[in-house]
Every structure is written in structure tokens, then in C-alpha cells.
Amino acid sequence: MKKFTIAAIAMAFAGSAFAGDQDSADIHFAGEVQTNICTAELLGGGTSVQLDPTDVKTVTAATTDSVMKKDFTVSLDCTAQGAKDKITGASYATVTGYLAAAKGTAVNASTSALDNSDVTAAGAQGVGFQVQNKDSSNAVQTFTTADRVAKVIDTAAPMLFNYNVGYLKTGTVSGGLVAADAMFIATYQ
């Protein structure tokens, strides 16, 4: 008797679940995934900027302006596209670029230098990398969107973003290896 009652209750609920009219509409989604539109790389190739060695005394004195500076240029090459409209659409005319700290690299809160990410026993202490934007009166980079520099989109020649980097004191300096990573971010506008 119990089995019959359970089946009757289930049938009663099943009927009410499908009662009434329903309206529906199909929704379609579409999009496109593109390969990199432009290529960002260091002018001259490679992915590293190697600074010359220095000593603890020299870095200890570098409290506001970095030492042993080395120039580098990020080249944003859109020439393979052939036309600006193929990059971003007809409504965009400029691209902004800036450097941001890469994953695993922190920005020192008091100096805006990239902190040393070499935390091994061989890593230096109290030393970071200060980056200045040569396209913006050597402004010290904060590695935020506030550092953006605008360039007119050019598909005839690479757009160049010019910087320098040097050692900067971020604390009590000790000798050792110094490393940090940044990424270049381009936004089309």
C-alpha cells in the first residue's frame, strides 16, 4: 500500500510542474578571439635589461635618483596589420602604454621602485630598480595607469616607448643579486 501512495503523490506533482503556458526566446552569443594585434618587445630583441654591477656604497647614496642607469626602449610594432582600422576599428586613434609590476614583483611603497624579487641567500637587500619614463620628462614610474603615455597609432613604423632603469636604495643595503620583472601594457583608445 505504501508503494502505491508514493507513486500517486509523485504523479500529482509531475502534472502541476508542466501546467500553464511558457514563453521562450533563443539567445545567440558571438565573438572573436584574435592573436596579438601588435607585438611589444625590447628594441633590439630579448627580454632582459642587464645593468652593470655596482657597490653597496654607491647604492646607499641613491635615495631619490637611481644610479648606474641604463636606457631601454619598448617597441610596439603594429606594421603587420597594414592599416589602423585592422587594429582597433575606425574609432581609435591612439594607444597608451605603461609598465606594471609583473606577478612576483612588488612596488616599494616609499620609493616607487620595483623591489628585489631575488629572495634567495644570494639576493641583495635594500635595493630595487627605479624606472624613469624618458618620453615624460624622466618621470619616475609608479607602475600604475597614472604612468600611461599616449602615442598616435602607427602601422607604418613601430611606436617607441623610452625608459631608463637604475639601482635605488629601498632600505639597508647589502650586496647580492638584484632582479625584478615588469610587463608593458598597451591599451587602444
Whether the predicted pLDDT of 147 surpasses 60: yes
Residues 6+ apart with CB under 8 A from 146: none
Residue-wise pLDDT for 27-79, tens only, equals 878 766 655 678 889 998 889 999 999 999 999 999 999 999 999 999 998 88
CA 39 to mean position of chain CA atoms: 14
- Mean of pLDDT values over 112-117: 96
pLDDT of residue 20: 58
Terminal C-alpha separation, the chain: 74
- Mean of pLDDT values over 4-22: 47
Confidence of residue 7 (pLDDT cuts 50, 70, 90): very low
Whether the predicted pLDDT of 135 surpasses 60: yes
Query: Out of 57-66, 88-97, 179-188, which region has the weakest mean confidence (pLDDT)?
Result: 88-97
Whether the predicted pLDDT of 5 surpasses 70: no
pLDDT of residue 3: 41
Percent of the chain with pLDDT over 90: 61
Domain edges within the chain: 37-188
The CATH number assigned to the domain with range 37-188 reads 2.60.40.1090
What does pLDDT average to over the chain? 84
The DSSP annotation for 43-59 comes to: TTS-S--PPPP--HHHH
Whether the predicted pLDDT of 10 surpasses 60: no
Residues in the chain: 189
pLDDT of residue 84: 63
Confidence of residue 8 (pLDDT cuts 50, 70, 90): very low
Alpha-carbon span 156 to 172, nearest angstrom: 48
Percent of the chain with pLDDT over 70: 79
Task: Give the DSSP H or E segment for 2.
Answer: helix 2-17
Residues 6+ apart with CB under 8 A from 114: 101, 105, 106, 107, 108, 128, 129, 130, 131, 143, 180, 181, 182
